[in-house]
Amino acid sequence: IQVFPVFINSFPVITSPDSVTVSVGDTLIFQIKAHDPNPMDTLTFHLDILYKGLVMELHSGLLIWAPKKSDIGLHTFNLQVKDGHDDTGTKMQLHIYVFVSPQLTSELLSEAFADIEYTVFLTAEDMYGNKLRGPKSIIIETATFNNFSFSEHTHLFKWTPGEKDKGDHEIVIKLTDNFGFTTYHTHKLSVFANPCVHCDNEDKSTPADTTGN
């Protein structure tokens, strides 16, 4: 009786996620992970497309990419992990979404005055230049003052600071686009004394005397 060794190959198993996101201006460093039931096998990692600036390290599975603004959007790659016994290996689609967080486009004044209404329409846009319109797309996350009003539908912000509010303040505005990407915009605001302190007692056409004479 002759005995012949029989090698039964098992394909590699990819264990890393199939989707990842990266912001323009950041560098994606993504470790693709896989294991092989045959411990003596050496794995290699392959992508069907390699963009300019995208690096896939053959033996470690480390993917490095610093996308540009022209790369915004969803990119789908065919990932292949081979164990040296078969040209096919294990395949998986890898999705990389390159994004830019939504940006505030309205100009907010950095000065307000006691007893004078501070009003501004908050506007923002997504990575494709589309305005944020949903009721939860623009919200006031936090503010260092109270008694303001904000419409989640029109995005109109109103606040009439009082004398007690004089000083420095901060508003944190949360922006969320239709793709689920979020950013926080911090706006600093200083409240000063009402420059028209004599308006109630004098002719409104006469400016208040600020010369000290």
Question: How far from chain centre, in Å, is Cα 54?
Answer: 21
Looking at residue 32, what is its pLDDT?
A: 97
Q: 175 or 89: whose pLDDT is higher?
A: 175
Average pLDDT over residues 49-70: 94
Q: What is the largest CA-CA distance in the chain?
A: 121
Q: Which domains does the chain have, with CATH numbers?
A: 13-99 (2.60.40.10), 103-192 (2.60.40.10)
Looking at residue 84, what is its pLDDT?
A: 77
pLDDT tens figures, 14-40: 999 999 999 999 999 999 999 887 777
Which residue from 122, 132, 144, 120 is spatially nearest to 182, judged by alpha carbons? 132
* Pairwise CA distance, residues 154 & 66, whole Å: 37
Task: Give the 3-state secondary structure of 20-67.
Answer: EEEECCCCEEEECCEECCCCCCCCEEEECCCCCCCEECCCCCEEEECC
pLDDT band for position 7 (cuts 50, 70, 90) = low
pLDDT > 80? residue 79: yes
The percentage of residues in the chain with a pLDDT greater than 70, rounded to a whole number, is 88
**Residue for token pair 């029989």:** 6
pLDDT > 60? residue 163: yes
Q: 19 or 89: whose pLDDT is higher?
A: 19
pLDDT tens figures, 141-161: 999 999 999 999 999 999 999
Looking at residue 40, what is its pLDDT?
A: 77
Average pLDDT over residues 106-131: 97
Q: Which residues contact 90 (CB under 8 A, 6 or more apart)?
A: 11, 12, 13, 14, 34, 80, 81, 82
Average pLDDT over residues 182-198: 91
CB atoms near residue 29 (< 10 Å): 11
* Opening angle at CA 62, ends 29 and 22, nearest 5: 25
pLDDT band for position 199 (cuts 50, 70, 90) = low
The pTM of this model reads 0.79
Looking at residue 153, what is its pLDDT?
A: 93
